[in-house]
């Protein structure tokens, strides 16, 4: 059978862009001629319309047929196109992946410049016509098509430590939770004494943000912090995010961007969601501690990475005692191009978890052999979580205007039982019937419904031959939060006391203006102001818990919420308080350069953390924790062909007037005094054709302003390294490449300051993961804590009494710790179907 050439011409048509602006479309660098199908029926049309993704390094992916000329003709066109190479599209001067449609003309007429070759006049290969009787193609023009930039516009840097991090190949580095991706940014330590289902505790640049109280956390722009949560105002549980669906991170380490809102004290972090892998991916993993994980992912071919669906099921027996956990997460998002100038996306997610936690142990009990290093005092500790959210956004640009609007709705319930002090706090009250210490176990439950919207409008003008922008943005959220906190009798789950019972209605309305001015090529000024108004309406269902002179005839006894005043005069046990407060926060950034790839920058700004509803008083201007932060630094970036390198060095300082400090008696962070921080960081990343390496280190001195004493528990030195190497192996299996990937992550945390002049142990943990991919099959083995280091993840000094050492209570401070996980192996198998069209 003779093979003849197919008269295929391709037209790469670029007439507009759908997202963002300043887009330079991709250009063809090299083409491969298509081979016409032999013996195929005549083409149905004169052209095959294909849609493809051109990656940011110019490679063709994810080709789908939009308009078919017949299966054989289509396949011939697709086969050829996959071998083409492109110069990638540019967005705001940077290479980006793009989604483009391309026409292969099947009929004899050669393409003409006005036949849609707007940006690439020589887009196809003109070949001979086939012999077999092909009907003359009717005269018609190929349709106009668009190039659509995939992903998101790169955010503009608002500070020297504004990190926009593409996870990329560092995805191979073992990370058990989505929170651990934050370690790609400098100065972040993740710990967790509450178990695998419990939200991670985040330390950022000298702040103990606990479960997010000092970091504004968002996923795809949707707020995660929970206002009014009793475990901490701003509590954030990131476990609902399936790690495979994290595409990029934006971490701003300080309040420097006017778009940052409540809780952006230490900074903010946005998880940009996406799935590069197309088709259906099923991944199963099993390993030590009876751990199993099953993930199903769907990346619809032909859609952007922002369209995906994912399900994750996870269970573990946990290491040591009482660390079992089970959870399930579901996420879906679809990005819909509405027109050449508008796109929209809608997303949903759901999450449910049940877990136990080991809590803390006293070091003296471990040293005396009374408990083991990985044991627990109380097997009731743990919690459960439910979450459901829906969100959507629309993005539109037209001429100099860009606008985006987003709405979100989240329903969440979180229950958590913990006990940091054992049997210490249940002191005998006069009103109470005589009792022994019944135990300090706290049972907290918070239900929150959050609804809100955010958005911005941006106007661009060109003045004096430079682009300038003005952005006006808004943010609004309403929270309906219910929270109860009870104390449980040891050995049972019977509540004996109600500490807190609040129903809160909270609003936060924010407006901001942000200017981006470029007076000269080497000078950029960014900044503006943000104003937030907070309202609080708090119904305290247990407002009175003591009475000085109770009724002798009707004593309140063991009631927690008392309905009498002195001498038995009746009152309702509840009370409502409302308050309002506002804050105006200027923020600004100055950038000089780049000079030989180096950009110098400085930033300053104010941030705010709203008051916990537990502290709200009637008509009192609600006190805010406000922060002032400044920093200066230098950033360098360079690209040599396939090697991308960047580095930065930053010095920073912060002052917070009401910092949060951990209280073991409250089992959470409570408001402390004013603190200052002074520190520096370095970060670097290098990416090449076979490796990706990220290094960062941060040192910060955190001290109380009045005494100069060091702030306890926060790390001053944090080092982190993430590395990945990947390459095809020299062997082939059934004529297909074998590709190997190795990822390594290393964390070092210096001795943390503890109360009473103590220092913790260092943390030094190495994780590794290796994967082998053959066609659609990937085998992997992941190992966390590779060296099986026995270490203390969290350490504390305070008084507790767990009834472990004799009849007399222990009332003076002692060292406590939560154990870091030992070595864990996880073997995985992943199958991808339909990943390449």
Partner 1 sequence: MKRAAFSLLLAGCLQTTGGQLVTFEAEAVGTPEAASFTTPKGYDVVLSRARLFVGAVYLNQTNPSNYALETSCILPGIYTGEVRGSLTVDALDGSAQPFPVTGNGTDAPTRAAELWLTDGDVNDTRSERVVLEAEGTASKGDAGWPFSAVFTIGSNRKQPPRDPALPGSRPICKERIVTPIPTDLTLGEGGTLRLTIDPRLWFSAVEFSELTPSSSAPARFEFIDDSASAGQPDIALYNGIRAAKGPYAFTWR
Contact residues for partner 1, defined by CB under 8 A = 421, 424-425, 427-437, 549-552, 555, 557, 665, 676, 678, 701, 703, 705, 707-712, 753-758, 797, 799, 805-814
| Closest approach of partner 1 to the CB of residue 518, in Å | 34
Burial readout 582-621 (b: 16 or more C-beta within 10 A, e: otherwise): ebebebbbebebeeeeebbbbbbbbbbbbbbbbebeeeee
613 vs 653 by CB, closer to partner 1: 653
By the 8 A CB rule, do 151 and 685 touch?
no
| Closest approach of partner 1 to the CB of residue 494, in Å | 19
Helix H or strand E encompassing 74: helix 71-81
| Closest approach of partner 1 to the CB of residue 625, in Å | 18
| Closest approach of partner 1 to the CB of residue 500, in Å | 19
Q: What is the DSSP string of 295-358?
A: EEEEE-TTS-TT-EEEEEEEEE--SSSS--EEEEEEEEEEEEEEETTEEEEEEEEEEEEEEE--
Phi, psi values for residue 771, rounded to 5° = -135, 150
391 vs 798 by CB, closer to partner 1: 798
By the 8 A CB rule, do 795 and 814 touch?
no
| Closest approach of partner 1 to the CB of residue 430, in Å | 4
Asked whether the bond before 145 is cis by omega within 30 degrees of 0, the reply is no
Cβ neighbour number for residue 135 with a 10 Å cutoff: 10
| Closest approach of partner 1 to the CB of residue 808, in Å | 4
Report how far apart, in Å, the C-alpha atoms of 386 and of each of 47, 195, 558, 735 are.
51, 16, 32, 48
| Closest approach of partner 1 to the CB of residue 376, in Å | 22
| Closest approach of partner 1 to the CB of residue 550, in Å | 4
Phi, psi values for residue 45, rounded to 5° = -135, 175
691 vs 709 by CB, closer to partner 1: 709
- What's the order of all strands across the beta sheet hosting 207-208? 188-191, 201-204, 207-208
413 vs 551 by CB, closer to partner 1: 551
Residue 300, C-beta contacts closer than 8 angstroms, at least 6 positions apart? 278, 307, 308
42 vs 813 by CB, closer to partner 1: 813
Q: What is the DSSP string of 419-459?
A: -SSBSSS-PPPSSSPP------EEEEEEEEEEEEEEEEEEE
Kindly state the tokens that stand for 8: 């295929």
By the 8 A CB rule, do 611 and 233 touch?
yes
Helix H or strand E encompassing 115: none
| Closest approach of partner 1 to the CB of residue 421, in Å | 8
26 vs 439 by CB, closer to partner 1: 439
481 vs 753 by CB, closer to partner 1: 753
291 vs 797 by CB, closer to partner 1: 797
38 vs 371 by CB, closer to partner 1: 371
40 vs 753 by CB, closer to partner 1: 753
Q: Residue 449, Cα to own-chain centre: how many angstroms? A: 21
| Closest approach of partner 1 to the CB of residue 711, in Å | 8
Residue listed under structure tokens 């859609």: 303
3-class SS shares of the chain: helix, strand, coil, % to 5: 5, 55, 40
Strands 267-273 and 215-219, by their bridges, are parallel
| Closest approach of partner 1 to the CB of residue 590, in Å | 23
DSSP 8-state symbol, 134: P
Kindly state the tokens that stand for 696: 């960062």
By the 8 A CB rule, do 105 and 142 touch?
yes
555 vs 593 by CB, closer to partner 1: 555
| Closest approach of partner 1 to the CB of residue 432, in Å | 4
Kindly state the tokens that stand for 56: 């940011």
Structural Rg of the chain based on CA atoms: 30
Report how far apart, in Å, the C-alpha atoms of 213 and of each of 166, 228, 271, 568 are.
25, 11, 17, 41
507 vs 805 by CB, closer to partner 1: 805
| Closest approach of partner 1 to the CB of residue 751, in Å | 10
425 vs 830 by CB, closer to partner 1: 425
Kindly state the tokens that stand for 62: 């994810």
| Closest approach of partner 1 to the CB of residue 252, in Å | 24
317 vs 429 by CB, closer to partner 1: 429
| Closest approach of partner 1 to the CB of residue 487, in Å | 14
Kindly state the tokens that stand for 598: 């180096």
By the 8 A CB rule, do 23 and 149 touch?
yes
447 vs 627 by CB, closer to partner 1: 627
């Amino acid at each position: 059978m003779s093979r003849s050439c197919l008269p295929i011409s391709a037209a790469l048509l670029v007439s507009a862009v759908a997202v963002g602006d300043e887009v330079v479309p991709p250009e063809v660098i090299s083409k491969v001629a298509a081979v016409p199908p032999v013996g195929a029926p005549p083409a149905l049309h004169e052209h095959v319309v294909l849609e493809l993704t051109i990656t940011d390094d110019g490679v063709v992916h994810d080709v789908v047929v939009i308009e078919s000329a017949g299966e054989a003709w289509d396949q011939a066109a697709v086969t050829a196109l996959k071998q083409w190479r492109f110069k990638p599209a540019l967005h705001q001067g940077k290479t980006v992946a793009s989604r483009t449609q391309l026409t292969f003309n099947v009929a004899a007429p050669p393409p003409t410049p006005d036949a849609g070759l707007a940006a690439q006049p020589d887009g196809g290969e003109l070949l001979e016509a086939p012999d077999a009787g092909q009907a003359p193609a009717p005269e018609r023009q190929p349709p106009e098509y668009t190039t659509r930039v995939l992903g998101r516009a790169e955010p503009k840097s608002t500070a020297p430590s504004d990190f926009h991090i593409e996870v990329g190949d560092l995805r191979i580095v073992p990370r058990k939770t989505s929170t651990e991706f934050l370690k790609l940014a400098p100065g972040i330590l993740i710990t967790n004494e509450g178990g695998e289902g419990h939200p991670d505790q985040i330390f950022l640049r000298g702040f103990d943000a606990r479960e997010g109280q000092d970091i504004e956390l968002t996923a795809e722009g949707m707020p995660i912090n929970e206002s009014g949560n009793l475990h901490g105002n701003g509590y954030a549980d990131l476990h609902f995010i399936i790690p495979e669906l994290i595409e990029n991170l934006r971490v701003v380490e300080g309040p420097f961007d006017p778009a940052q809102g409540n809780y952006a004290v230490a900074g903010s972090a946005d998880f940009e969601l996406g799935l590069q892998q197309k088709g259906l991916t099923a991944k199963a993993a099993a390993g030590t501690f009876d751990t199993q994980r099953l993930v199903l992912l769907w990346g619809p071919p032909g859609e952007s990475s922002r369209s995906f669906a994912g399900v994750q099921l996870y269970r573990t027996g946990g290491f040591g005692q009482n660390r079992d956990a089970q959870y399930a997460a579901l996420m879906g998002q679809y990005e819909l191009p509405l027109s050449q100038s508008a796109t929209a996306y809608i997303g949903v997610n759901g999450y449910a978890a049940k877990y136990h936690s080991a809590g803390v142990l006293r070091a003296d009990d471990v040293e005396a052999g009374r408990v083991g290093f990985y044991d627990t005092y109380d097997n009731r500790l743990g919690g459960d979580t439910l979450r459901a959210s829906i969100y959507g956004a629309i993005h539109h640009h037209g001429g100099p205007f860009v606008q985006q609007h987003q709405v979100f709705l989240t329903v969440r319930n979180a229950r958590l039982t913990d006990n940091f002090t054992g049997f210490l706090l249940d002191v005998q009250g006069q009103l109470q019937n005589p009792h022994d210490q019944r135990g300090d176990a706290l049972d907290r439950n918070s239900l929150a419904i959050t609804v809100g919207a955010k958005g911005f409008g941006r106007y661009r003008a060109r003045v004096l031959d430079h682009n300038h922008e003005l952005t006006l943005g808004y943010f609004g959220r309403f929270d309906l939060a219910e929270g109860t906190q009870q104390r449980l009798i040891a050995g049972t789950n019977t509540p004996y006391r109600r500490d807190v019972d609040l129903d809160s209605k909270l609003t936060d309305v924010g407006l901001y203006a942000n200017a981006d001015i470029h007076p000269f090529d080497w000078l950029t000024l960014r900044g503006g102001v943000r104003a937030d108004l907070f309202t609080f309406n708090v119904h305290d269902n247990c407002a009175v818990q003591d009475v000085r002179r109770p009724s002798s005839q009707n004593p309140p006894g063991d009631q927690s919420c008392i309905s009498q005043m002195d001498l038995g005069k009746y009152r309702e046990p509840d009370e409502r308080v409302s308050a309002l407060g506002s804050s105006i926060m200027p923020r600004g950034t100055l950038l000089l350069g780049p000079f030989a790839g180096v950009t110098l920058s400085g930033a300053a700004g104010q941030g705010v953390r709203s008051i916990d509803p537990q502290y709200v008083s009637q008509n009192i201007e609600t006190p805010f924790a406000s922060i002032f932060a400044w920093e200066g630094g230098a950033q360098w970036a360079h690209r040599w062909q396939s090697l991308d390198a960047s580095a930065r060095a930053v010095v920073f300082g912060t002052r917070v007037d009401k910092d949060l400090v951990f209280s073991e008696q409250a089992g959470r962070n409570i408001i402390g005094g004013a603190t200052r921080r002074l520190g520096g960081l370095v970060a670097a990343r290098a990416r090449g054709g076979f490796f990706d390496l990220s290094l960062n280190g941060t040192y910060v001195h955190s001290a109380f302003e009045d005494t100069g004493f060091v702030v306890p528990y926060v790390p001053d030195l944090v080092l982190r390294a993430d590395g990945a190497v990947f390459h095809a192996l020299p062997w082939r299996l059934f004529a297909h490449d074998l590709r190997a990937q190795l990822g390594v992550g290393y964390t070092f945390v210096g001795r943390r300051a503890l109360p009473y002049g103590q220092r913790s142990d260092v943390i030094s943990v190495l994780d590794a993961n290796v994967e082998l991919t053959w066609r659609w099959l990937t085998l992997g083995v992941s190992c966390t804590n590779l060296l099986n280091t026995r270490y203390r993840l969290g350490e504390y000094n305070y008084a507790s009494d767990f009834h472990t050492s004799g009849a007399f209570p222990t009332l003076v401070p002692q060292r406590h710790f939560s154990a870091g996980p030992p070595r864990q192996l996880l073997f995985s198998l992943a199958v991808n179907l339909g990943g390449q069209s």
